[in-house]
Structure 1
Amino acid sequence: MSAHKTLLFSLAGLTLLTGCNPAATTPDSHGQKVSAYTTAANQQLQQQLPLADQQDFNDARRGLIASQQPLRVSAERNPDQSVWDMTQYAFIQGEAPDSVNPSLWRQAKLNNIHGLFEVTPGIYQLRGFDLANMTLIKGDSGWIVIDPLTSRETAANAFRFAMQQLQPRYPQLTGISAVLFTHPHLDHFGGALGIISQQEIDQRHIPVIAPQGFMEEATSENIIAGNAMSRRAMFMYGKNLPRDIWGHVGSGLGKSPAFGEFSILQPNQLVDHTLQEMTIDGVDFRFQYTPESEAPAEFTFYLPQYRAFCGAEVMSRHMHNLYTPRGAKVRDAMKWSAYIEEARRLFADADIYFGSHHWPIWGQENIQTFLKQQRDTYKFIHDQTVRRMNQGMTAGEIAEDLKMPA
């Protein structure tokens, strides 16, 4: 790379903004050196985006029941080792330092808001206990668990914390009545055996529901290519970087994956078509089957009694990546965009949106705007990349030339 260029490396994982000309530097508020190119790029971005808007912060704090303080989780086999430590991110306060992309800093501040939240009475989320969210839906007899996090340790801690808060409200609910995996990325199923055992599932005939192709894709990604992808994930998520304004600030989707004990459960029910209906412990679900979108196998779902739509990871409160450097399959931007439009039409009366990452959205108009922007983002990237490719531009040239519209 030229010594006179700034590298903007933006992933759904780590985002780094670093200047490459050490001769042109200015000290930031910590006395370290920041290149003039990095400072200029960050200032330009500051002017392009409405970073002062506080609505996301209001939504991210809405419904907070309790936060776990301090939020640290030890490794199952080595209590001296942490697999999750939110206290490391306490430095993320105030305005963005010159060394950090201001949009990443804002996202990191939002992802620092953690705890058990009431999305609406009967739907609860644990956010900030791992890279993804764990969602709990009140059933007739127990809790329907959506996406039980990355590791056994973080899942067990999160579920235990939730029950401490929720059992006094719902003493009639006894344990877990169903488990749903929205897709086969590790941060959405790896903690399953931290909250329930296979023996309990078998004895109580508990539904374990996943999209068609879940086990095949989870196996190919995490076992066949598991060693290589784990190594690459260490770089992608900056696992070994210091947690400070010169190292790891956040991962866009959340803070970072938990690197603990991983597990999986075999689904006993599959979702294989759109508008497939199930009644799970008294709660009606309408599924949207979205293969080859954000994941090779994935579903979203709508809860009619709550007028609530769960977008899984097909929608996120940022621009997701179409290719992940850890080596997961390339995502089909065209199909991805089409699924978002399909969901927007199918579930147009949704008053609540929640997902497998980030904070919810309330209000039909706000949800519709969000879905349109997500839809158009992936469609624009696809169409304009293909247009430039057909004009003879190389991948590197396209990356430099393609700019998102306002």
Structure 2
Amino acid sequence: MTMTAAAIHEDMGTRIEEALRRRFVHHSAAAEAYGSEFAALWRAAADHSLGGKLVRPRLLLDIHHALTPGDVGSATLTPAAVEVAAHIELLHYAFLLHDDVIDGDLTRRKRPNLIGALAAGTPAATEEDALHWARSSAILMGDLLLTAAVMGFARADVPADVRSRLLDLVEETIVETVAGEHTDVALSHGIIAPDLTTILSMSVYKTATYSFSLPLRAAALLSGSSVSAERTLTSVGRHIGLAYQLQDDLLCVFGDHRAHGKDAFSDLREGKETAIIAYARSTDAWDDIAPRFGSAELSMRDAEGLRDQLRACGAEAFVTDLVGDQLDAVHTLLADAQLTGEIGADAAHTILSTVSRLEGRRA
């Protein structure tokens, strides 16, 4: 029986959600043995992690489907692929929890995140006590989800050699993501110099590795693709991920916050070191920009003034061109991979569909 592409995509989302719910139900039930508060933490984590866009697990299953031999239009999702995809989403949520603690955030997408919700619902003596409880809980839940993700890879119903390579992949992913986050914090406190090369490397490690290279490489491993195909998909994921992060930076400064949902000019208030700022530092405009960059009291009017200066000095155009370079590199890599037979037309088309959604992205 064949299925349309839309039906297959919908089935993917349903199966990922079901796998995630099973994981949370299992962990919540097991947590009861350690007290009601601990079980409640698992249930709260489930409430905040379920119902997302599932970008990373969907990418894995889309590519796995495209790489796996079978009849056109047939659903070739294996239980192992669905489980690995679900555990990639758990890894994502673990990173988000730790990121919210590091950044001191209480909201995500204009609603309370896990920390904000726990702090608001905690009958602590003081607000400080409530925040400490909530942030501590987020750190611990992030640790638990990180462990659950790794164990999910380890328990995947795949041949031993594939499991070993999956574990190497998830270890490499965690190390690179943590290294990227560590560099990001160092940049924000002026511990290391904010040069363009360092900022771009940080973006690849912090965002591209786990958001794009991980699901693409996992799909290749699970479908039995060649080592050369996996290597190509690693590079493709890095270029897509860097383009995605650079677009995020552009949206925060130059985009419409009503469309993208991020706090307007938050990067400018926080003094976030991005490729936009790295370029601006190299121009004569920096002397005028520097005094207001990183001011928590930055007014909307001043922020709009900074935006206009960043645009006038060429920073917006420079980073927009960087995004274009990354997407061009993806097209070139996939064209070459099809010529050599490393990656088939279906997989290349699926990846390019993802790239097309990035082009002209507003949110």
TM-score when scaled to structure 1? Answer: 0.34
Structure holding more helix per residue:
2
Higher strand share: 1
